[in-house]
């Protein structure tokens, strides 16, 4: 087996009677072992569909995907033995206890009754669920249930764990907690492939990420690499209704690389942020326009998304 735990070529998936809905429209992906790989995109971009194909839940309409060295369509059984999968909605029965679910999962992966119990206890302790282990999961908090879901996915110590939107719906503490757990998994050598529509999550947690929109990967790399591709700084100018006009005016200036309107505000990509601010002000003043606000920031992943898709991820999500 080579060092890539995931390799796809021209992966496509269509829905509908005539295949008219294209959820995944040709995804080429390579994910190396031992990292946290993020799949960032707005809702409906094709993240979950791609994940479900990779986790053997959905056959691809075209193209190829190899996970842990096996073809997902031809050898799903081998893939399933080597991966863990945590769906966005989780996968535990509210009537079962956390321990009961972990033991069941262990037994399904061929552990003996005794070994499954030992492993369940290990995971309950690691995920700080030991006290709640024998209670029915319907009484768990959102964060506890999520940690149990991850524990269930890790019962058989898979080399690759899929997490679909692992922190959606969690409060900030539970979210930070989940990030820690994911980093701990990386330390033990597990590759984590997660989807998210949170920019900060992709930025802070993922070693590498792919940005997906309308079923296509529009950018891929580490977060710093992606941001570096957008050279210079970003200036945001709050204006009153006349956004398009201001954008067109500024676009013609030599110090502006690109200008557009996002959320009613004018967004400029400039080489040197500090030097450009006075120029912007003078120019607007000359037109009799007064900006309501003016902000300068380093490019974020949202700028990367915006640059590639023409939309803000915040609007799209």
Please report, as ranges, the residues that interact with another protein according to CB under 8 A.
Answer: 55-57, 59, 73, 76-77, 80-81, 83-85, 87, 89-96, 100, 104-105, 107-110, 152
By beta-carbon proximity to another protein, the closer residue of 86 and 268 is 86
The span from the CA of 125 to the CA of 104, in Å, is: 17
- Return d(Cα 84, Cα 158) in angstroms, integer: 6
Nearer to another protein, 96 or 229 (CB): 96
Question: For residue 67, which of 58, 154, 76 has the smallest C-alpha distance?
Answer: 76
Tokens of 26: 């040709």
Q: How far is the CB of 58 from another protein (least distance, A)?
A: 9
CB-nearer residue toward another protein: 140 or 305: 140
Per-residue burial over 202-233, b = 16 or more CB atoms within 10 Å of its CB, e = otherwise: bbebbbbbbbbbbbbbbbbeebeebbeebebb
Task: Find tokens 């791609």 and name the residue.
Answer: 50
Query: Which residues have C-beta within 8 Å of that of residue 111, sequence separation ≥ 6?
Result: 119, 155, 156
Minimum distance, C-beta of residue 55 to another protein, in the bound complex (Å): 5
Q: Which is nearer to another protein, 59 or 264 (CB)?
A: 59
Closest approach, Cβ 104 to another protein, in A, equals 6
Nearer to another protein by Cβ, of 17 and 95: the residue is 95
CA distance 201 to 95: 32
Residues 6+ apart with CB under 8 A from 173: 143
C-beta of 135: minimal distance to another protein in Å?
13
Q: Shortest Cβ distance from residue 25 to another protein (Å)?
A: 21
């Amino acid at each position: 087996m080579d060092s890539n735990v995931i390799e796809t070529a021209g992966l496509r998936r269509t829905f509908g009677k005539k295949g008219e809905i294209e959820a995944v429209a040709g995804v080429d992906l390579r994910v190396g072992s031992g990292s946290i790989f993020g799949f960032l995109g707005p809702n409906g971009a094709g993240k979950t569909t791609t994940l479900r194909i990779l986790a053997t839940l959905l056959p691809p309409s075209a193209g190829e995907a190899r996970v842990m060295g096996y073809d997902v369509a031809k050898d799903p059984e081998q893939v399933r033995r080597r991966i863990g999968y945590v769906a966005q909605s989780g996968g535990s029965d509210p009537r079962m206890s956390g321990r009961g679910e972990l033991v069941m999962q262990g037994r399904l992966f061929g552990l003996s009754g005794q070994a499954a119990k030992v492993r369940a206890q290990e995971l309950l302790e690691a995920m700080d669920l030991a006290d709640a282990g024998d209670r029915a999961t319907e009484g768990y908090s959102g964060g506890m249930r999520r940690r149990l879901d991850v524990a269930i996915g890790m019962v058989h110590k898979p080399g690759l764990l899929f997490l679909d939107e692992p922190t959606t719906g969690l409060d900030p503490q539970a979210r930070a907690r989940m990030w820690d757990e994911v980093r701990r998994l990386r330390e033990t050598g597990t590759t984590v492939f997660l989807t998210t529509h949170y920019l900060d999550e992709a930025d802070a947690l993922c070693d590498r990420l792919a940005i997906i929109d309308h079923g296509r990967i529009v950018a891929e790399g580490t977060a710093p690499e992606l941001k570096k591709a957008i050279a210079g700084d970003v200036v945001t100018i709050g204006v009153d209704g006349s956004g398009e006009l201001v954008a067109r005016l500024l676009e013609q200036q030599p110090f502006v690389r690109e200008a557009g309107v996002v959320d009613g505000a004018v967004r400029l990509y400039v080489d040197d942020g500090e030097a450009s601010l006075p120029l912007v002000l003078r120019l607007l003043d000359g037109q009799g326009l007064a900006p309501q606000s003016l902000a300068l920031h380093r490019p974020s992943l949202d700028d990367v998304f915006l640059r590639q898709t023409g939309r803000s991820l915040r609007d799209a999500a």
